[in-house]
Amino acid sequence: MHRKIALKDPHLEARIYNARTVTAITLVLLFIAVILARYYTLQITEFETYSTRSERNRVQLQPLPPKRGLIYDRNGILLADNRPSFILSVVRERVEDLDATLEELAGLVPISDSDLERFHKRVGRSRPYEAVPLRFRLTEDERARLAVNRHRMPGVVVDAQLLRHYPHGQLFSHALGYVGRINEREARELDETDYRGTFHVGKVGVEKYYEDTLHGSVGYQNVETNAHGRVLRVLERYAPVPGSDLTLHLDYHVQKAATEALGEQRGAVVAIDPASGGILALVSTPGFDTNLFVNGISTTDYSALRDSPDVPLFNRAVQGSYPPGSTIKPFMGMAGLASGLVTPETTVPDPGWYRLPGSSRRYRDWTWSTRRAGHAPQVDLKMAIAESCDVYFYDLARRLTIDRMHEFLAPYGFGARTGVDTTNERSGVLPSSAWKRAAMAQPWYPGETISAGIGQGYMLATPMQLAAATGTLASRGQRYTPRLLRAVDGEELPPQALQPVSAPEADWAAVFDGMREVVHGERGTANYLSEDIAYEMAGKTGTAQVIGIAQGEDYNEEEVAERHRHHGLFIAFAPLQAPSIAVAIIVENGGGSSAAAPIARAVIDTWLQGGAG
C-alpha cells in the first residue's frame, strides 16, 4: 500500500499570512487611532481643563490680608496696636489624611477641642487650596518642633501675621471694644472677597463701629509652589491696602485719672468737650482685659467674666440706665424759667415736705431725715440748686405737668440715643402720659410727676446722656453729637452740630449761679470740692434710690445690703466762664453723691492741668 503525501500549498500560506498581516496592521492602526484620539482630547479638547489643574498644583493665588489701622488717643498715645504672631494652618487639598495629620500635629503642639471645632467649621467654608488656621500665637519652641517635622507633613503651613494687641489692657476696654475671631454668622454677613485671609473682625465698641475704616482692602499674590506646598517664588503681587489709622478725642491721662478715681467701685465716667462733643474719657468699671478676646477667650476666663455679679462686660457708660436723681434739677430749672412759671427770685415755702392739693401724702425733702425741717422758710432757684431742695422742684414739676416736662427736657437729649459712635447705646426713658399709655396701658398719676421732678420714678438716663446734656448746658445751648473719633489718617473731622437749645442769657446765668454754689457756696452740697481749687466749677449732686422707702420710714445705709444702697451721681463743667470739659459720673450703690463728686474733681483737675492736648 502506498500512503498519500501532503504537498505544500504556497497559495494557502500566502492567504493566511496576508490575513494576519492585515489584522496586525488594523490593530496597530486602531491603537494609533485611539492614542491620537486621546492625544487630541488631552491637547485640544480638554487642554484648558488639564492646564488649569496643572497650574493649580504649581501656582497658587494667595490672599494678602491688609494691616488693620492703628488707634491713638488725642495726644498720639497708641491705644490699639498690631503685633506679629505665627499661625499654624493646613491646606486641606495637600493633605492625604486630614485626621492623621491633625493627630500628628496635636502631638507636636497643644491643640484644644475648641481649636479643632473652629478649624473644621472653617474648612467647610474655605476655598480650594486656601490655608485654614488651626492654632494662633505659636511659641518659639512650638515653631521649632513644627519646622523639624514639616518635611513629613505636606500641606502644613506656619505663617506670620499681624494680630491686634491692646497695650493698656482694660483701661480702654469699653471705649475701644475689641476684635475677635470671625464666627459663622459673621462669615455669612461679611464680604467674602474682602475678608479672605482675615480671621478677625471688630466685635464691639470703636473696633466694630469703624470696622470698614480700620479693616482696609485685601491684596493677592500668585506664587509657585512645590509638591509640599512650599513657596518657591512669587510670580505676581497685588499689595493690600492697609486700614486707616484713627485718632480719638479720648485723653489717656484723663481716662486713667477717671479709672483710678473710681477704683474698685462699680460705675461710669463720661467726660466731654462742650465745644465739639468730643469724648475725653469713657470709663465703665469694672473693665476687662480686651486681649483675652482677640484669639478666642478660654471657657474659664469667659465664665469668670460672664458670671461675675459685677458684670464687667456691661458698658455702664452707654448701656446703664439709671434714675438721674437730683442731677436733673438744673435742667428742670431751665424748664421752669423757659415756661415762665418761675423767675430767679421766685420762692417756695419749704417745711421739709410737700403735699399735692387735696392729698394727705407727704413727699419728703432729703433734709427731713436729718433735720426734721426744710432748707429755709422760703427757697429760691439758686438755693434750690445749691442745696438740692426737693420741695422746690416738687412744686415746679406739679405746675409744669409731666407732658410739659417732656417737652422742655427732650431738647437736651433725654429719652433718646445720643448717636455716639460706639455700639449698644440705650435711649433711657423720658416719661410722658403718652409714653405710659403706650408702654403700660395705664394713665399718668399726679404723684408720678412729683417723682419725675427730682429725677426718680420712671425717668432713666445713661451717663452718656447726662454728659451730653451737661455739655449742652455748659455751652449755653449749643448741642453736638458726642464723638469718640477725632481724625482719620490725621485728617480732622468737623463737629456734628445739632439743633441748639435757645434761652435768654439771664436764664443760663441763673442756673449757672446755682450750680456754682453747689461747689463754692457755704451750704453747697459738694462744697468740699472747692478746697485748694484753682478754678471755678459748676456742679450738681444727685442720689438715686435703688429700693423704695415706705412713707414715714428713714433710710439707714448701714442696715441696707450693699447692692441695695443708693447710687451716687454728679455732673459738672469747668472752668465756669469758658467751659472746656463737662463730666457725668455714676457710682452704683455708692450711698450718695459724695462717692461721685470727688471723681469729677480728679478728672477735671487732670484735664485742666495738662490733659487738654
* Active-site residue set: 326
Residue 580 identity: S
Backbone angles phi, psi at 592, to 5 degrees: 160, -175
Cα distance from N-terminal residue to C-terminal residue, the chain:
140
329/540 Cα distance (integer angstroms): 8
Q: Scanning the structure block, which residue is given the C-alpha cell 470739659? A: 581
Name the nearest CA neighbour of 162 among 86, 57, 246: 86
Match 490655608 to its residue by C-alpha cell. Answer: 131
* E strand or H helix that includes residue 238: strand 231-238
Residues 599, 602, 603, 609, Cα dihedral to 10°: 170
> CB–CB of 217/66 below 8 Å?
yes
The three-state (H, E, C) secondary structure of 71-112, written as one string: EECCCCCEEEEEEEEEEEEEEHHHCCCHHHHHHHHHCCCCCC
Please state, as a whole number, how many other Cβ atoms lie within 10 Å of the Cβ of residue 178. 25
Tell the burial category of 347 from Cβ atoms under 10 Å away from its Cβ (0-12, 13-18, 19+). Answer: middle
Q: What is the CA radius of gyration of the chain?
A: 37
Contact between residue 276 and residue 582 where contact means Cβ atoms under 8 Å apart: no
Q: Contact 198/218 with Cβ under 8 angstroms?
A: yes
Cα distances (angstroms) measured from residue 356 to each of 109, 364, 372, 498: 75, 12, 19, 38
